[in-house]
Structure 1
């Protein structure tokens, strides 16, 4: 895979590094220490992985150059990143050297550092010992960057949304009586890959009573006529931005009382979408869905937050949940996915990914929201 396909132009990462250093300085930090994970991919376009040997991007906040400390045997992991084009210095090390001392030597000032939340404890503990203090998390700094998607990131989310919509559009090919959840999931997984995702990050096929478990995955349960089935699917498209979409299906005509409750859920999901606009608090979007469900006697059936941010991670900030007073800003991207669950009976969830615009929001998912009835 070419670097152009797996990341954005190098200059974009240079801008992100500069911005991260400035935000770190404003927070009173001397450096950000970023190990492999979504934050490193955001800042450098690097797909490096975490192992027992330390790989770490050191971002000083005093204007000096960001540097990557990496095991010599892992240098190839930086090949498709923006490191070479940006001229980011690389300090490689070999077994027998102390990489934590290398990192410490690159940190200016008193060593007030912040670390990526994905940093493994096997690296965090020796770094804390080296600096004589437990570092703070860099999340508060990095979130300010990652929460606001630029035009290219939004376009990647659109492509991801369209790809997962095409998979949902084919559900009638696979979801039918006599097949197991696992068989349906295998077909969905193949379609997710065929539609341009690099992997199927998750495939939930929750049929009948399994639909009442929001995080059910798949089982050998045989799908039967009359089942309500929750299909929650997604994965990344290059350069690593995720889809995530849920629709609810009925195998044959549903019970009218069940259909009526799912119609209320659809209205709640659309109310939350309509509530999205710059300046609106995240918790107010959650309330738009929750209050409508509560008015219809379904408050106890809605057991999770209304949404989560999405981008290089399937779940990231902002979280659309009660108590989050974060004002929405253009470029924020998140799910809106209220659900209702009746233990031992059935469940339903409807989910779109939306991007905040100047005057509302854009949904990257376009499939119908109502309960889709498939042949029974």
Structure 2
């Protein structure tokens, strides 16, 4: 039997878990001020007059306020010089100010629109009042098209650019505080992965395992139920994002568990693949190739190296083992990795064609999955962060197919 798999129950494992909510500090107001200052410096450098932030994770990044997106505009105008102005439906102003009281100490300007008014026209009026008439407005890339189009029509004297030149440039370089939060989240999810392996029993369903993943993350103090819980047994493990039906565990099955949730707003995201029972020769072969590919990708992750070079290193290892080539299967049908932070998929993307050089502060997944359709798949996903001295793992990678959680190492 694979070491660390089976022998426990959901009830027993949940009894061991206590909240770690206070084990790391959330991002504070001082850091958010620094983020706004960095964004404003970028805007001045690029000739951008102001940045419009919609109800997105970028608004949370810069302000500490989180809004649910809807047809009603609720956003923030950040000028290249001066203080941000919040745009709110009038009937939501009291709620907005209550939210601000929890995260912002200084007075904040709020402009409101009534239900029969055009909020896009209000944004343009705010810009005109700042003396920015006819300037360049950068729009949050997560803004819905209908809203961006409304801003364009209301502000036809303005030039418009993709706000990613500001938001992505800020967000893809993580601070020490962000890396500390992500490290905590990743290691807590790894604890859940270990516990999940221990509760497995023959006849268990993927739905039961997914329910445990939710309860365990909540018990550890995550922000809420994990955003994704991919649990696969047997042949469905070959499909990267799963299948739309539950499975029942039997001896000899490959098990794939991919789960992640937010902790103080930042995502964890880990995948483990192992066998329920004794691995056969084919499972060992594919697992070992996947392991070597992750090691090759990590070895290629050097400061100044391109994102695509990391993908190439993983793919070359897989092809050298007789799989692929390229995106063909059996082999790796998707990119090697993605950035992670307030969104589970964000810059930088570890994929062919991305020549972005790796810098200190960048964080990304290392997950060159091997898909053998009709048989099984193996994904060993951990995340990497770049520091001044090079690449580091957030979590300890799985050492072997026989001991996937390193209990004997």
Correspondence 1:1-376 to 2 at 5 A: 7-61=26-80, 63-75=81-93, 76-77=95-96, 79-81=98-100, 84-107=104-127, 108-132=132-156, 135-199=160-224, 200-216=226-242, 219-238=245-264, 240-299=265-324, 300=328, 301-366=331-396, 368-372=398-402
Query: Is the deviation greater in 105-114 or in 179-188?
Result: 105-114
The TM-score normalised by the length of structure 2 is 0.85
CA positional deviation for 1:34:
0.3
The answer to whether the Cα contact below 8 Å between 2:134 and 2:159 also exists between their aligned partners in 1 is no
**Cα RMSD after superposing both structures:** 2.1
With over 3 angstroms needed to count, the CA separation of the structure-2 counterparts of 1:250 and 1:218, relative to structure 1, is farther
- Structure 2 CA distance, aligned partners of 1:55 and 1:346? 45
Task: State the shift of 1:345 in Å.
Answer: 1.4
How far residue 373 of structure 1 moved from its aligned partner, in angstroms, is 6.5
1:309 to partner: Cα distance:
0.4
Aligned structure 1 segments of 4 or more residues deviating by more than 6 angstroms: none
Instruction: Say whether the 8 Å CA contact 1:274–1:360 is kept in structure 2.
Output: no
Residues 156-165 or 359-368, more deviating? 359-368
Query: 1:191 & 1:351 partners in 2: Cα distance?
Result: 20
State which drifts further: 133-142 or 206-215: 133-142
Would you say how many aligned residue pairs link Structure 1 and Structure 2?
369
How far off its partner does 1:78 sit? 5.1
Give the distance between the partners of 1:83 and 1:268, measured in 2 at CA: 43
**Runs of 5+ in structure 2 lacking a partner?**
1-20, 405-409
Question: How far has the Cα of 1:7 moved from its partner?
Answer: 4.9
Distance 2:203 2:159 in 1: 55
**TM-score normalised over the length of structure 1:** 0.92
Q: Does the aligned pair in 1 maintain the 2:174–2:362 contact within 8 Å?
A: yes
Give the distance between the partners of 2:243 and 2:305, measured in 1 at CA. Answer: 33
